[in-house]
Chains A and B, each alone.
Chain A
């Protein structure tokens, strides 16, 4: 099978998504009270660091099906930008403001990067 030595993009992507999801659940579990933000802030910073590491490691791969990656990740990104846009509208519509809005927006950004990355990599690694 066409399994090459590649950085652990899939594993790191999943870790970043788990950190993001835990942060969102932490915030959502306190509605309508104001949640303590420290836990969510730490989780989102960790998610961002893992995501940045993942992107850096993948960008250094020389022999890779980059056109396929770009095609799959690009279309997935378009879909997730639409979804994230709708969710951001819902947050604003529901009067989410301040630090909570910032954290929720960052979680949408995390998803909009991680999901296309996982899909694009998941396809391109076998080309």
Chain B
């Protein structure tokens, strides 16, 4: 009989069965973002109203719809999930949002400001100038929420999920913060809709 003792395999600390984000920012999506930004720059440089309108309407529509959907529909659903399920959802969802949202915001605001210049809406003599200032205030509030709360929570979640032993409770806590702030920006988007529909009427 072989007297050599074979040590039983030591139970390694197992990572929760969560997908690991390959990178914080999905690199495969960067060329698409690059093309969109290049097209936006071309639209602004040529000052073509159709192209500016396209970027403003397409970007603004998608941004508003996403914010409302995330904050008011998806948010409550995710909050009701068990922490591991919430973490799994987050691991697949968050990297995409890290590219999609800043791109949509850049499209909308860049083309929107240029459109306002083009049609002289920025001029204080414009009868509805107050609405333009109100839209700047709404965007300012949304920017503070997005840059001060939403984005840091999103990146922190991705860092946590790339650890060998991610803290599922922390991921759930950060996601809750993310969804609440998305809800607030979603409600603020309603104010944007009111302002934007008041401008041409």
Contacts and interface: CB of A to CB of B under 8 A. Distances in A.
Given A25-B140, A115-B147, A123 B152 contact: yes
A18 interface: yes
A30 B170 CA distance: 45
Interface of B: 122-124, 129, 132-133, 136-137, 140, 143-144, 147-149, 151-153, 155-156, 159-160, 167, 169-170, 173-174
B117 to A, nearest CB: 8
Nearest to A111: B147
A2 B147 contact: no
Which 7 residue pairs across A and B have the least CB separation, nearest first? A122-B152, A21-B140, A14-B148, A29-B133, A31-B122, A123-B156, A25-B136
Interface residues of A, number: 29
B155 A2 contact: no
Interface in A99-121: 114-115, 118-119, 121
Contacts of B144: 14, 17-18, 21
Given A2-B167, A29-B124, A118-B148, 14 more contacts: A1-B173, A10-B148, A14-B144, A22-B140, A28-B133, A29-B129, A30-B124, A32-B122, A118-B151, A121-B152, A122-B151, A122-B156, A123-B152, A126-B160
Contacts of A22: 140
A72 interface: yes
Contact of A33 (B124, B149, B155, B169): B124
Given A25-B133, A31-B124, A1 B170 contact: yes
Interface in A40-89: 68, 72
A122 B170 CA distance: 13
B152 A17 contact: no
B133 A119 contact: no
Contacts of A29: 124, 129, 132-133, 136
Contacts of A72: 155, 159
A123 B98 CA distance: 14
